[in-house]
Every structure is written in C-alpha cells, then in structure tokens.
Chain A
Amino acid sequence: MFRRAFLTSVVASILAACGKSEQASEEKMPSKPAASNGGRIDAKLAKLGIELPEARTPIAAYTPYRKVGNMVYIAGQGPSNQGVVGKDYTTEQAYQLAREAGILVLSQLKVALDGDLDRVVQCVQLQGLVRATSDYTEQHLVINGTSELFRDIFGDSGLAARAAVGTNSLPVGFVCEVIATFEIA
C-alpha cells in the first residue's frame, strides 16, 4: 500500500515534469522564481532573447543542485521532448533540445546563486547524454547546443571539460539530459 502510494507520487511527478499536470507537484517544495538582479549576465540573457523558466522540481528522489565550497553541481536536466536521435530527431533538432537543456541548467544555477549569475567563474564539467540509435555518431554536435549557449553567455569560461555520450534510454523517454558543474565566486 505504502509502495503503491510512493509509485503514484513518482508517476505524478513525472507527468508534472512533462508539463501534463501542474497540480501534481504540490508535495514538492516549489522552487522560488529566479529573481532578476539586473547583472551583467542577466543583460546578456536579455540581449540573446533568453527568458529563464522557473526552475524545475525534481522528478524523483534527488535535489536539483548541491553547493560544495566554490562548486555548484546541477542535477541532470532535459527538455520534455521524447524520442530517439537518429530516428525521431535530426542532429539539428536535437541541438536545439540540448540548448533548451542548457537553459534549464541556468534556471537551477540561478536559484543556487540567489539570482546572481554574475558569480559564475567558469563551467568546469559538462556531461551530455543523448538518447540515440546504436549507429548514431554525432552526439558531440548535439551537446554543442548546450556548450555554445554557455559560451554565448559566459564567453570562453562557459566551455567545460566535456563528455558527450550516447545512451539507448533516458528517464521519461527524454531525448537528452545534461549534467553540469560550475565554479562560482
């Protein structure tokens, strides 16, 4: 019985993450909307026409970010689209989804930094998982969607020691998932 309730809540959270149900996330602590502090990076985002969405609530038992000293670890972020690159999505389409994943990372980062993205020193590590067919070989070009977004925003310090890899499956059927670590001031 307890287990069934747990599973129901997990499924509800997953649906919420897919944007199909808003009310299901009530048991999660809502993340506060990222405050705009009118800083240098906020100006850059505005110039690029990027509006950061509200940081997502986790879809399972984890926290969206952790801070340790001058490092911020962001949990895996992926846009809601479902499918497989090399079958349902082209490299160019998946590039756009990886860019969206990067925007979701920034939303979490902004919450972690109390709204002040100017505190970012550099992106240290980026791991990009691309749900792909077994013969797909352009994962690195897909994850450029995240990397080039970060470079546009933070300059060369937005580029990370990176790994782009394929996988045959991801939670909720996501097309891609991006994990990032930042050094902050």
Chain B
Amino acid sequence: MKRRSFFAAAGLSALAATMLSGKASAQSGGKIDAKLAELGIEVAPASAPVAAYVGWRKVGNLVYIAGQVPHNENGNIIGKLGANMTTEQGYEAARACGISILGQLKAALNGDLDRVKQCIQIQGLVNSTDDYTEQHLVINGTSELFRDIWGEAGLAARAAVGTNSLPLGIACEVLAVFEVA
C-alpha cells in the first residue's frame, strides 16, 4: 500500500513535469539572451525532475545537465522514430530537449548564459525501431540549436544512439555537460 502510493506520487510528478514549474530564471540581458531573442527562442523555466534526481550538478567549472524530456505546447513529445515519427519530427523533438537543457543551464548559472565557454559533451538517445538509422540527424536538432547560439563552441563531443524505449514514451532524451566561466 505504501509502495503503491509511492508509485502514484511518482506518476503525478511525471505529469507535473509537463507543466512549467519552479521560479523563472532571471534574465541577465546578456549577449546570449539577445541571441536567443534574435532566434525567437523562449527559454522556459527549468522543469521539475520527473523522478529522484536533480536537474543539474556543478563541479568546478563543469555543469552536468540531467537527461531532458522534450516537450512543446501540447505536452511531452511522445513517439518512436521509424514507427510513428519522421526524422524531421525527431529533429524538432531533439531541439525541444535542447531548449529544456538551456532552461536547466540558466538555472545553474543564476540566469547568466554568457558564462558558458563551451559545450563539452552531448548524449542523445533516440526512441527507435530496430532498423532506424538516422539517430545522428535527429540529435542534430540539439547540436544545431547550440551552434546557432554559441557558434562552434556550442558543438560537443557527441554521441547519438538509438534505444528501444524511453521513460514516459518520449521520442528522445538528451543530456549535456558544459564548461562555464
């Protein structure tokens, strides 16, 4: 009974993650904020984790961002590449993960994205059928977003991989590590 209520609570927090939560990251009005405005990108406040973890961890000059769930105005982006999603739709989902990463990063940096020196590592997991082979093109959705924002420093030592299943049935999940000033 106790365990059941635990799982019910975990399910609820998963639902809550599709909504915006937490305090809004302060606008620093910096160079990167101007770039985001120019690109028409609105970074929502970091969403709450869907389970027992934190959105980011800082160690020295590195910021580790937890695996981000893609979501848009309709909620979490659910699907499987090769079955019910095109590579282009997957690209948009990966871009949405990238925007979620920006929200976490902004929270980690007290709102000041200008402190980012480079994106070190990206791992992009794509919910795929066994014969789907364009995971790298899907995760370009994250990578090209970061390049648009930070230039070449936004490109990471990257791995894009397929998986047969992801939490909540999401189309992709992206985690990242940044060097910050």
Residues on B with beta carbons closer than 8 Å to the beta carbon of A86? 165
B168, A161: Cβ atoms closer than 8 Å: no
**How many A-B contacts if CB must be within 8 Å?**
108
The reply to whether B163 and A166 contact each other, CB–CB distance below 8 Å, is: yes
CB within 8 Å for A163 and B123 given contacts A125-B57, A143-B51, A151-B52: yes
In this complex, what residue of A is CB-closest to B69? Answer: A140
> Is there an interface contact between B52 and A159, defined as CB atoms closer than 8 Å?
yes
Is B175 in the interface zone, CB < 8 Å from A?
A: yes
The stretch among B23-31, B35-43, B58-66, B136-144 that forms the contact with chain A is: B58-66
Pick from A126, A137, A144, A160: contact of B165, CB below 8 A: A137
Q: Does B169 have its Cβ within 8 Å of any Cβ on chain A? A: yes
Closest 9 CB pairs of A and B: A166-B165, A163-B67, A162-B53, A147-B52, A168-B164, A140-B167, A140-B51, A161-B66, A161-B64
Binding site for A on B (CB under 8 A): 3, 7, 10, 14, 49-57, 59-60, 64-67, 80, 123, 125, 130, 163-169, 173, 175
Q: List 24 A-B contacts (CB under 8 A).
A: A71-B59, A86-B165, A91-B7, A92-B7, A133-B164, A134-B80, A139-B167, A140-B51, A140-B168, A144-B51, A151-B52, A156-B54, A161-B53, A161-B54, A161-B64, A161-B66, A162-B53, A163-B67, A163-B123, A165-B125, A165-B163, A165-B167, A165-B173, A166-B167
Which residues on A are within 8 Å of B, measured CB to CB?
A: 70-71, 86, 91-92, 122-127, 130, 132-141, 143-144, 147-148, 151, 156, 159-168, 181, 183
